[in-house]
Amino acid sequence: MRMHLTWRDRLATSVVAAAALLYLVWFTVGDGASESEVRMITAIVLALGFVASVSAVVPGFEGLIHGSKLYLAVSSLLGLGAFVAGIAALVTGREVWLALLVVTTVVLWAMSTMRHATAAPRSVPPPADAGGLAAPS
């Protein structure tokens, strides 16, 4: 199986890795979480998750809608769960909601990346000719 990942997938991977790393460093180094710290980390994770979604999912939205309905349902429910967890973490400042946000973000990224990696590569349209003239080689 050959992987077909685009620069958008690599960008999504980078920002999700940054979000997960930020959370792990904060969780392991922190000496007790204040509500304001939870809210700050949550806001950053939400922003990075949004960047990952816009970069890797939105450009292929047409294929997502017409693809596997099971994948669409599961990823939509997980996305909604991530959003609800993020809002709950912002409102309550509780670590459990932040942890749920990070886990669902990583799961969504993994699902999306596996889907893109195993999909057939998109065909590249032939270069447009210049008014009937042969394209330079």
How far apart CA 15 and CA 51 sit, in angstroms, is 7
Would you say the C-alpha torsion 63, 17, 110, 125 has a positive or negative sign? Answer: positive
> What pLDDT, in 10s, does the model give residues 95-134?
999 999 999 999 999 998 888 777 655 554 444 554 555 5
Is 55 a residue whose pLDDT tops 60?
yes
User: Is the pLDDT confidence value at 24 over 90?
Assistant: yes
133 forms beta bridges with 130
Taken as a whole, the chain contains a residue count of 137
> Among residues of the chain, what percentage have pLDDT more than 90?
50
Q: Which residue has the tokens 């042969």?
A: 134
Average pLDDT, the chain: 82
- Asked if residues 53 and 90 have their Cβ atoms less than 8 Å apart, the reply is no
Q: How many CB atoms lie within 10 A of CB 55?
A: 19
Tell me, what's the pLDDT at 120?
58
Using only the alpha carbons of the chain, give its radius of gyration.
19
